[in-house]
Structure 1
């Protein structure tokens, strides 16, 4: 089993503040993202990932986000097996100290 690449919340925050264009997908449930998401992240619930593979760019590395890093880790393992370039945000939104925006 290939190890999944990780990124810390602090590393991600630095990249975003530096203006890097990153693919971010938040896999939490609707009521969780209602409390705030990282700006520009897409929201695809973990259970909806298999039906939304076409929404995930296979050419780019995609960073997955959840509350603590567990669910997003599972999503990363699933997608990595299918040839996607993935990275898991460890610590999840519990450790995120950067900006958030309410999900519309």
Structure 2
């Protein structure tokens, strides 16, 4: 059953080197989105420009739970996986970024698609959200929390996960990674 139609604003940044657009994050209103785009443009010389686009999505629960994303380290995730079975990873990188390294079993949902996929997420699960280096995932994590989901941001993203020795190439399969995590 679909809920009310809500809106959010998607912030995209254009890379100087390649000219490609990368989705940075989500905000609840245009002013905040514009300010965040301007802030990132001024602080990160790798970006050429930014754009803000409005997206509408269906939501059953739009109350705000918290205002900050909760970060979790790879080691804390490992410990959590030993105790819980209701954890789901969400990889918010863009399709062209996903090469051979990923956390097996992750849902692959690009940042820009998150508002449209809320109805597909289960409310009784805990979500560990990650991107490459942890710049985009806090926005998605915060957004999910505001929509009533229990979400944690993987601090440092996939780079931190790999640095902790937890990621193997996808071709090696999920069994190797999960066995390593359970130790």
TM-score range, shorter chain: 0.7 to 0.9
1:47 aligned residue? 112
Match of 1:102 in 2: 170
State how far apart, in whole Å, the 2-side matches of 1:3 and 1:72 are: 12
Q: Which moved more, 1:39-48 or 1:53-62?
A: 53-62
TM-score norm. by structure 2 comes to: 0.50
1:19 shift after superposition: 7.4
Structure 1 unaligned residues grouped into runs of 5+: none
Answer yes or no: is 1:76 the counterpart of 2:76.
no
The correspondence of residues 1-104 of structure 1 with structure 2, limited to 5 A, is: 2-16=67-81, 18=82, 20-21=84-85, 22-96=87-161, 97-102=165-170
Which structure has the greater CA radius of gyration? 2
Structure 2: where are the runs of 5+ without partners?
1-65, 172-183
Q: How many positions carry a matched residue from both structures?
A: 102
Is residue 69–residue 139 contact of structure 2 (8 Å, CA) maintained in 1?
Answer: no
Q: 1:54 offset after TM fit, Å?
A: 1.6
Give distance in 2, aligned partners of 1:38 and 1:52: 20
Q: Which has the higher strand share?
A: 2
TM-score by length of 1: 0.83
Could you tell me how far 1:65 is from its partner in structure 2? 0.8
Q: Kindly indicate whether the alpha-carbon contact (under 8 Å) linking 2:128 and 2:152 is maintained by their aligned counterparts in 1.
A: yes
Shifted more, 73-82 versus 2-11: the winner is: 2-11
The structure whose RCO (Cα within 8 Å, separation 6+) is larger is 1
Q: Whole-Å Cα distance in 2 between the matches of residues 63 and 72 of structure 1? A: 9
